[in-house]
Amino acid sequence: MNDNYMQLRKILFRGPSREASLSFAPGVNVICGASDTGKSFLAESIDFMLGGSELRGITELAKYAEIELDLSINNGENWRFRRSTSGGNFKLINLAKPDSDEEVLKQNHTHGKTDNLSGFLLEKIGLLGTKILKSSVKSTTQSLSFRNLARLILVQEDEIQQKGSPFWSGQFTTKTAELATVKLLLTGIDDSSVISTIEVGKNNTEQVALIDELLTDIKIEIEDIGGNRDELESQLERLESSIKSHRDSLNVVQQRLDSFLAQRRRALNERTDTLDRLSEISDMFSRFNLLQEHYVVDIHRLEAIQESGSMFTHVDSVPCPLCGATPNAQHLEASCEGDVSAIVTAAVAEIAKIEKLKDELNNTIADLKTEEFGLEELLAEKEATYQSLDKTIQQTIGPEVNDVQISFSELIETRSKIQKSIDLFTRKDKLESRKRALEDEGDTREEKGDVISGLPESIAHSLSKKISSILKAWNFPGDGHVYFDKQSSDFVIDGKPRGSRGKGLRAITHAAVSVALLEFCQEKGLSHPGFITLDSPLLAYFKPEGEDDLALKGTDLKDRFYEYLAKHHGRDSQVVIIENQHPPESMKNRLTVTVFTSNPNEGRFGLLEK
Q: How far apart are the first and last CA of the chain?
A: 44
Residue 606 reports pLDDT greater than 50: yes
Helices (H), 7-140: 39-49, 117-124
CA 192 from centroid of its chain's CA atoms: 43
Per-residue pLDDT at 298: 86
- Rounding to the nearest 10 degrees, give the CA dihedral for residues 532, 534, 540, 544: -150
CB 536 within 8 A of CB 547: no
Residue 338 reports pLDDT greater than 60: no
Span 331-349, average pLDDT: 70
**List of residues 6+ apart from 412 with CB closer than 8 A:** 243
- Say which amino acid occupies 249: S
CB 434 within 8 A of CB 211: yes
Q: Give the Cα separation of 442 and 338 in Å (integer).
A: 139
Domains of the chain: 6-198+451-596 (3.40.50.300), 231-314+337-426 (1.10.287.1490)
Angle at 68 between CA 65 and CA 74, to 5 degrees: 175
Per-residue pLDDT at 331: 60
Q: How confident is the model at residue 355 (pLDDT cuts 50, 70, 90)?
A: confident
How would you list the strands of the sheet with 78-84, edge to edge? 19-23, 6-14, 66-73, 78-84, 90-94, 103-105
Per-residue pLDDT at 439: 67
Q: Give the Cα separation of 559 and 582 in Å (integer).
A: 11
Q: Which tops the pLDDT comparison, 336 or 57?
A: 57
Per-residue pLDDT at 507: 93
- Say which amino acid occupies 516: A
Per-residue pLDDT at 546: 61
Please tell me the least confidently modeled range out of 108-117, 238-247, 320-329. Answer: 320-329
Pick from 74, 106, 78, 115: which is nearest to 93 by CA?
A: 78
The CA distances from residue 67 to 10, 418, 481, in Å, are 10, 48, 44
CA 242 from centroid of its chain's CA atoms: 32
79 three-class SS: strand
- Say which amino acid occupies 63: K
Q: pLDDT per residue over 189-230, tens digit each?
A: 998 887 665 443 445 677 777 888 788 877 777 777 766 777
Q: Give the Cα separation of 499 and 490 in Å (integer).
A: 8
Q: Phi and psi dihedrals of 382, rounded to 5?
A: -65, -40
Q: pLDDT per residue over 245-256, tens digit each?
A: 888 888 888 888
Mean predicted lDDT score pLDDT of the chain: 86
The CA distances from residue 185 to 62, 128, 149, in Å, are 38, 13, 9
